[in-house]
Amino acid sequence: MSDLNIEDVKMNYNAVWILAKREIRAFWRNKARVISSLAQGILFLFIFSGGFSSLDITIDGVDIESRAFTASGIAAIIILFTGIFGGLGLMRDKMFGFMKELIIAPVSRRTLMFGRTLGIAIQTMLQVTIILGLSIAFGFLGYDINLIWRVLLVLPVALLASIGIVGMGLIISTRLRDFQSFGLIQTFIIMPMFWMSGALFAFNKVPDVMQIIMMCNPFTYSVDLFRLVILGVSFFPFWFDLLVMVGFGTIMILIGAWSFNKMEISQ
């Protein structure tokens, strides 16, 4: 095997971390993006928690305060928006020529993809931590001391959930050729996954048809596992939530890696 072929399949972990840091720094330096992301989360917290405050929610025989139910769902939803938009950021690099520079670098495309995925996943973890911190500060989740370790425990869940979502964003961004198509993506993929994830509506309080749709949404199980960690209750068994999340993440990353490898960069 030639050196070129070896280089094509090797994973450069140092390059992965460098690319991940680039994604994190690019996000942090874009103050408008940081502020808008946090403002969106806070807006969701106050609007949706107020709008659904009169609902009676029971999960596995346990009464759940509606504000805590909504806050835990909003924290999970941050992953969906950040992951998809982060993956679509690949289009920006393609349009402004940065991707051309990366492609000719002496690292494999798989290294490039994993570096971007890791960077966006860490972004989502940071934002989830901030939203949960605000939820606790404003009293949405109460003031139980156990919330400290629950927030720490939810970070691996956020990382696992973000991998599949970022993979989906990469698949979409490698196929799209212009930003005008983004509106269609938002309408037909992101918003249905948002509304049908159970983040705002209790699974056992919706009609049977909607329950079936929610069960077909892979992100539903990420939201459910979030609630299990934060609130201690869930609609589905822990092992089933975890199985779906691992399966979805694996499939999305594998397809994303294949799509990234086949991506053509216009000259």
Q: 59-74: per-residue pLDDT in tens?
A: 777 778 888 888 888 8
pLDDT value at position 198? Answer: 85
Question: What is the pLDDT confidence band of residue 96, given thresholds at 50, 70 and 90?
Answer: low
Q: Are the C-beta atoms of 70 and 43 separated by less than 8 Å?
A: no
pLDDT at 88 over 80: no
For residue 161, the 8-state DSSP code is H
pLDDT value at position 219? Answer: 93
Q: pLDDT > 90: what percent of the chain?
A: 13
More confident call, 232 vs 100:
232
User: 57 forms bridges with which residues in the sheet?
Assistant: 64
pLDDT value at position 5? Answer: 41
Lowest mean pLDDT among 36-40, 203-207, 242-246: 36-40
- Please state, in angstroms and rounded to a whole number, the distance separating the CA atoms of residues 18 and 26: 12
pLDDT at 244 over 90: yes
pLDDT value at position 52? Answer: 61
Is the C-alpha dihedral spanning 66, 67, 72, 77 positive or negative?
A: positive
pLDDT value at position 43? Answer: 81
**Mean pLDDT, residues 123-139 taken together:** 85
More confident call, 45 vs 192:
192
Lowest mean pLDDT among 13-27, 150-164, 175-189, 190-204: 175-189
pLDDT at 79 over 90: no
Mean pLDDT of the chain: 79
DSSP string, 97-140: THHHHHHTSSS-HHHHHHHHHHHHHHHHHHHHHHHHHHHHHTTT
pLDDT value at position 216? Answer: 93
pLDDT at 194 over 80: yes
Give residue 201's region: left, alpha or beta (phi > 0; psi -120 to 50).
Answer: beta
User: Global pTM?
Assistant: 0.83
pLDDT value at position 66? Answer: 80
pLDDT value at position 59? Answer: 79
pLDDT value at position 8? Answer: 47
pLDDT at 221 over 90: yes
pLDDT at 9 over 70: no
